[in-house]
């Protein structure tokens, strides 16, 4: 899987070595409440979630990356392309540890992921599935160029789909 670098971040494949940081992030109730697909807060739940992203990479050839600060090498979260079975389209998602929010990292990582979807994966549309009350993720979706598309149901809970089309210049 491709490693991407942005101005402040390295986006690299998630590995088992990320488990402790990943589990700590997922144990935070403020992180968990914003997820479109809630994971649970136990270490076993975090393990299954991490394994799901790594398995998705094995099956699809792409998945969420570990988001790492270039300046410090610290794990700050995950972000990237996503399309599990029965998902409504090729999606881009993001999840950051609470202490790394408000720095623009989600927007920076999501922009890189959207560009990857259009240029490398050849997508014509990229979506993000967001819980209705997650105003921070809705703001990120808008900043990366997504527009509200429709309401839907995800895992038996209401969700919003934001999306953007491949830029005309890239077609």
In the chain, where the domains are located: 4-170
| DSSP-assigned letters across all residues of 12-48 | EE--GGGHHHHHHHHH-HHHHTT-SS---SSHHHHHH
pLDDT in tens, 51-79: 999 999 999 999 999 999 999 999 999 99
Whether the CA torsion 52, 95, 31, 152 is positive or negative: it is negative
pTM here? 0.93
CATH topology of domain 4-170: Aminopeptidase (3.40.630)
Provide the pLDDT for residue 150: 95
CA–CA dist 51, 42 (Å, integer): 14
46, with CB counted inside 10 A (0-12, 13-18, 19+), is buried
pLDDT tens track of the chain, all 171 residues?
A: 789 999 999 999 999 999 999 999 999 888 877 776 667 778 999 999 999 999 999 999 999 999 999 999 999 999 999 999 989 999 999 999 999 999 999 999 999 999 999 999 999 999 999 999 899 999 999 999 999 999 998 877 899 999 999 987 655
Provide the pLDDT for residue 167: 84
Residue with tokens 């739940």: 45
Asked whether 66 and 78 are in contact (CB, 8 A), the reply is yes
Provide the pLDDT for residue 1: 72
Provide the pLDDT for residue 154: 81
CA–CA dist 86, 152 (Å, integer): 13
Provide the pLDDT for residue 42: 86
């Amino acid at each position: 899987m491709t490693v991407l670098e942005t101005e402040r971040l390295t986006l690299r494949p998630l590995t088992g070595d990320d488990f402790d940081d990943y589990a700590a992030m997922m144990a935070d109730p403020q992180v968990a409440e914003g997820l479109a697909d809630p994971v649970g807060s136990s270490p076993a739940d975090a393990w299954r979630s991490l394994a799901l992203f790594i398995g998705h990479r094995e099956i699809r050839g792409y998945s969420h990356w570990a988001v790492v600060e270039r300046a410090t090498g610290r794990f700050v979260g995950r972000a990237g392309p996503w399309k599990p079975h029965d998902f409504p389209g090729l999606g881009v998602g993001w999840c950051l540890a609470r202490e790394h929010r408000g720095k623009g990292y989600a927007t920076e990582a999501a922009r890189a992921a959207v560009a990857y979807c259009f240029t490398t994966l050849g997508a014509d549309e990229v979506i993000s599935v967001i819980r209705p009350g997650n105003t921070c993720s809705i703001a990120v979706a808008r900043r990366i160029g997504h527009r509200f598309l429709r309401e839907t149901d995800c895992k038996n809970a209401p969700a919003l789909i934001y999306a953007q089309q491949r830029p005309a210049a890239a077609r």
